[in-house]
Structure 1
């Protein structure tokens, strides 16, 4: 694409693995309120499966030396008090008493205790996930909650170009090359401001991941990665588990008879 000079969404002839990947995983090609479906759903799913297979072949699924891949919780734990990400800390590293705990990135900020959200362990995170996913398994209707519609928001540039295209089409005074260029520019502007409505797609993925499963008694890392977007942790022990389709389940983590963060 780069060699042939095809422009990307920013109208520049520059392509890489990431930009092509965004196209391949963009569910808008399955159709929306403005454009017809351009690819069959079955084909789209096959592409996603093929990409996953390629990641495994190339060793991109799990890289031991990558900090983000050392734990399934990396990048998914967030502080409900200050909004920062949680980081993993190792106590007594290399010793039999070694333990790992997660703290807010701003627990210590500029050499002072800045955020008193407390700590949470891997085991507590796993227990919270088991509680949340079992709640969904028991009550599948939770996944079907009506989501709030996000109002469409088009930029002034998009509106102006869209009207110009409509006027040209109505007057039939245009060259095919000129119109094609303008349509591409309109699509690029829409892409920049579009909010992907992928609730149904993600709900389907969660439903498939949970299909046929009994109540969970042990932590399943693959299931966690397939279904959970993030966990928001509060100092009073509350945890919001947000699934990939936007469903939020509230749970509490404890240590003995006390909140883990106390």
Structure 2
């Protein structure tokens, strides 16, 4: 059974059984990420939240280091099967980079061999079955034959096998990315496919302000000061509600990154960071690469169902030590 989350993360709300972005609270989440990337400490952000009177998950305006830190590391803001994307990839990973830097400065990273903290794949691999992130494991850690594996976070949950999606060797993921880059290089026009339509969501506050302006305009005595105030309020709401239509910009960024590629072969970490938003891992040995412009491209990996069954049998039966490197992201 899938574990239910106690609270919907700040920035989302439930509408007719679906999770949607919650206007004003979404702006607060973006503010938290931007302030942190700009140099504010987590405690400073918590103090600001209290001053603004923002209610926490329990409905009271009390904030401290913990809840703000949980927001900054919540990968659901990048978008999942359930939660729509709220934070852009670049901003999210800038925040993660700063969290790592702060942790190093404070001496909080006590396990230097936790390689998932350094892996460029961390936070970008998502299970195509249950939507959970993939974790990194090291088999035969610090021994001959050491091998880096990735598997769903819920493969083992509460001491039971809960998700049987495929395991992947890190090299398989890197090879699939190289195949993707090869195809994009040979057929550059495919990155321009499936351009989304611009959608501007309806905003209740803007509608209310429009009605107030109409009503004021019908009064015998023209209330100029109040009209100016309402127009200003409407402009602020329109700015908040405006959809950031950045497909052209992100597509151009991806194209430029591909053209500026420094290596002709091998896994290019800089290029990966520049063009990949997420990779969904499907049980039929298919990796669904999502580029920064949200175009998706499927790349097969492994040897099909036979390999999938072998992996399950091998990992269900072996007794050897496997070193777990921790969560997929910080």
* TM-score of the pair, normalised by structure 2: 0.55
Cα 1:212–1:90 change in 2 (3 A) is: closer
Q: How does 1:1-262 map to 2 (within 5 A)?
A: 18-20=33-35, 60=98, 63=101, 65=109, 69-165=117-213, 173-175=222-224, 178-179=226-227, 181-190=229-238, 193-211=241-259, 213=261, 216-254=264-302, 259=307, 262=310
Structure 1 gap ranges (5+): 1-8, 24-50
What's the C-alpha RMSD, in Å, of the aligned pairs?
Answer: 3.8
Cα 1:93–1:153 change in 2 (3 A) is: same
Partner SS state of residue 152, structure 1:
coil
Structure 2 gap ranges (5+): 1-23, 39-89, 311-330
Cα 1:175–1:106 change in 2 (3 A) is: same
Cα 1:93–1:106 change in 2 (3 A) is: same
Paired with 1:216 and 1:160, the residues of 2 have a C-alpha distance of: 57
Cα 1:150–1:196 change in 2 (3 A) is: same
1:130–1:216: 8 Å Cα contact kept in structure 2? no
Cα 1:211–1:111 change in 2 (3 A) is: same
Cα 1:108–1:130 change in 2 (3 A) is: same
Partner of 2:318: none
1:2-55 deviation line (CA, Å, top 9, x unaligned): xxxxxxx67x9xx977345899xxxxxxxxxxxxxxxxxxxxxxxxxxx99xx8
Cα 1:196–1:77 change in 2 (3 A) is: same
Partner SS state of residue 153, structure 1:
coil
Q: What is the CA distance between 1:157 and its match in structure 2? A: 2.2
Q: What is the CA distance between 1:132 and its match in structure 2? A: 0.8
Cα 1:216–1:173 change in 2 (3 A) is: farther
1:185-234 deviation line (CA, Å, top 9, x unaligned): 33444455443221111001011111254994211001000000000001
Paired with 1:174 and 1:153, the residues of 2 have a C-alpha distance of: 30
Cα 1:154–1:210 change in 2 (3 A) is: same
Paired with 2:129 and 2:232, the residues of 1 have a C-alpha distance of: 44
Paired with 1:92 and 1:180, the residues of 2 have a C-alpha distance of: 69
2:285–2:303: 8 Å Cα contact kept in structure 1? no
* TM-score of the pair, normalised by structure 1: 0.68
Partner SS state of residue 148, structure 2:
strand
Q: What is the CA distance between 1:261 and its match in structure 2? A: 6.8
